């Protein structure tokens, strides 16, 4: 049995490196546009068929929601050139000042920080002004193992370091909706970057099982946006059939050889 375990591991290891690459979701890019989405939820469907083991299958959808009367907002402000990364498979340029990402706005309000009406494109997940948290429903993402990384923008250190923009990312392995049957645990947190490199990120552990829901909150002086996610891909059905048939063939050959030796 040990030999077959080693052979199985060898077959998986022989898969092309590109087949095991992560798939990047640049959320504003995949949403198609920014600004107020005029609703408390926004379904983002990835257009490119880049999921699955060979990056040829559909990736499904992510549903972003406020779980309140507030609207989901797409911040497009960017002075660093991060207008879409380097393509659907990454790598992603995170080396410049950037406030591009998903946030929250208050409908009917012209408040320069939180209102959906007028003003610059800065409507973030705002802790001091109470537009927090923002939820991500990942149950509609297909042909992946699970989410394994998240990037946040506008995690700054303001006023000479006196105000650090704090953030927290929570995940739930269970539930039927972002706030229904969920059990959130803190995955990572932080506070403040520099004004010129204000992208915060953290790895999301996938060993515990794929997270179905994420909750991103701003804390203390925090007002951040959700910029991107990456997912570990899953094998395509055809590839798994080939692997399985190969293993069964090896097992069958071993059984036949033993039978002939005994007779």
Domain boundaries, the chain: 22-236
Average pLDDT over residues 138-146: 96
Q: How confident is the model at residue 250 (pLDDT cuts 50, 70, 90)?
A: very low
Question: pLDDT, tens digit, for every residue of 43-101?
Answer: 999 988 999 988 899 999 999 999 999 999 998 766 554 444 433 334 344 555 567 88
Beta bridge partners of 65: 41, 135
**In the Cβ-directed half-sphere of 246, how many Cα atoms lie within 13 Å?**
15
For the stretch 159-196, pLDDT in tens is 555 678 889 999 999 999 999 999 999 999 988 765 55
Angle between helices 237-262 and 2-13 (to 10 degrees): 150
Query: CA 26 → CA 2, 23, 89, 116, distances in Å?
Result: 42, 10, 10, 22
pTM of the full structure: 0.79
Which of 36 and 88 is assigned the larger pLDDT?
Answer: 36
Average pLDDT, the chain: 77
Nearest by Cα to 77 from 119, 44, 115, 49: 119
Of 118 and 220, more confident: 220
pLDDT at site 19: 43
Contact (CB, 8 A) for 251 and 4: yes
Model confidence at 141: pLDDT above 90: yes
The tokens for 95 are: 């080396």
Within the chain, strands assigned E span: 22-26, 35-36, 41-45, 61-65, 71-75, 101-105, 125-126, 134-137, 144-153, 157-158, 163-172, 185-191, 200-203, 213-220, 223-233
Alpha carbons 46 and 28: distance in angstroms, whole number: 11
> For residues 64 and 243, which has the higher predicted lDDT (pLDDT)?
64
- Percentage of residues of the chain with pLDDT beyond 90: 42
Two tokens at 73?
């907002």
pLDDT digits (tens, 9 = 90+) for 112-128: 889 999 766 679 999 88
């Amino acid at each position: 049995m040990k030999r077959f375990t080693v052979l199985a591991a060898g077959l998986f290891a022989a898969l092309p490196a590109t087949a095991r690459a992560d798939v990047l979701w640049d959320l504003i890019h995949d949403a198609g546009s920014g600004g107020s989405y005029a609703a408390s939820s926004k379904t983002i469907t990835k257009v490119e068929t880049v999921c699955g083991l060979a990056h040829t299958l559909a990736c499904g959808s992510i549903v972003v929601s406020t779980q309140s009367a507030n609207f989901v907002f797409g911040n497009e402000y960017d002075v660093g050139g991060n207008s879409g990364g380097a393509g659907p498979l990454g790598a992603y340029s995170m080396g410049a000042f950037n406030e591009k990402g998903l946030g929250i706005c208050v409908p009917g309000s012209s408040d320069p920080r939180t209102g959906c009406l007028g003003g610059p494109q800065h409507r973030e997940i705002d802790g001091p002004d109470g537009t927090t948290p923002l939820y991500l429903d990942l149950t509609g993402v297909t042909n992946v193992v699970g989410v394994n990384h998240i990037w946040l923008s506008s995690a700054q250190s303001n006023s000479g370091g006196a105000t650090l923009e704090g953030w927290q990312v929570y995940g739930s392995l269970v539930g039927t909706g972002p706030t229904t049957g969920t059990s959130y645990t803190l995955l990572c947190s932080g506070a403040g970057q520099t004004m010129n490199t204000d992208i915060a990120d953290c790895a999301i552990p996938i060993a515990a099982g794929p997270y179905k829901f994420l909750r991103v909150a701003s804390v203390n002086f925090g007002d951040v946006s959700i910029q991107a996610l990456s997912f570990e891909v899953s094998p395509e059905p055809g590839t798994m059939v080939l692997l399985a048939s190969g293993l069964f063939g090896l097992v069958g050959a071993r059984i036949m050889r033993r039978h002939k030796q005994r007779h």
